Amino acid sequence: MTKKFLIENTKTLFYALIIAILIRSIIIQPFYIPSSSMESNLLVGDRLFVTKFSYGYSKHSFPFSPAIFKGRIMYKPPKRGDVIVFKTPADNRTDYIKRLIGLPGDTVQFIDGDVYLNGNQILKTIKSKNDIINCGNSKIKVTTFSEKLPGGKIYTASYRNDLSYKNSDKFIVPQDHFFFLGDNRDCSKDSRFLTEVGYVHKDNLVGKAQILFFSSDPSIGSIFKFWKWNHIMRFNRFFKKD
């Protein structure tokens, strides 16, 4: 009886594990925001559901990126403005989350602090000045803008009031690659930094950020301190869709 019980429970756990891996690999994966590079749209402590089927599948769709096939199958190109989780080209292991700005063949350039896409300035209008947001362990003053991409996608982006990133050479996005920026423009390692991130190949895309389902403030305390939930939990951010 005991042997049969152990066998049946082992089989149940095995099947549950296989189902969990399939769901995480093929359908949806939770993702934790570990840095301030997407503030104020995404905060440290936010948890997102990332859809794995949005752009098709590559080896990076699966845990530990096994080399089970080459390239990308069932590929659907991402849209400009999507917030995407991808594996960094530097190590093909670390997950980053940024906003897609440049598509294959595009040129991207910063001129006097403004972003130019294919020679045209991305339209931006001031939403507020002297906002305070995080940059790692520091607080910085920023001006928050509403930006509108070709195609109509509107989002907010923050630029530091001092020491802002002003000018760059032209970035020419290679075929099958993408150019990403963080919404916290002066506190983000992204495609501007070619040796650390650079252009991201389509095979490195993991999935599209869709729903912010949970959020807590780790600077205040752990979610296991339930007696502090009224301070730790950001209830107003639960189940927000991008």
Which residues are tagged catalytic? 37, 98
The β-bridge relationship of strands 95-102 and 83-87 is: antiparallel
Q: Tokens 């907010």 appear where?
A: 156
Nearest alpha-carbon partner for 239 in 214, 204, 208: 214
Angle at 198 between CA 45 and CA 96, to 5 degrees: 15
Whether the CA torsion 226, 229, 234, 236 is positive or negative: it is positive
**CB atoms closer than 10 angstroms to residue 110:** 19
Nearest alpha-carbon partner for 144 in 168, 121, 124, 166: 124
Reading the block at residue 178, the tokens are 């993408």
Q: How far apart (Å, rounded) are the C-alpha atoms in residues 167 and 131?
A: 23
DSSP summary character for residue 227: G
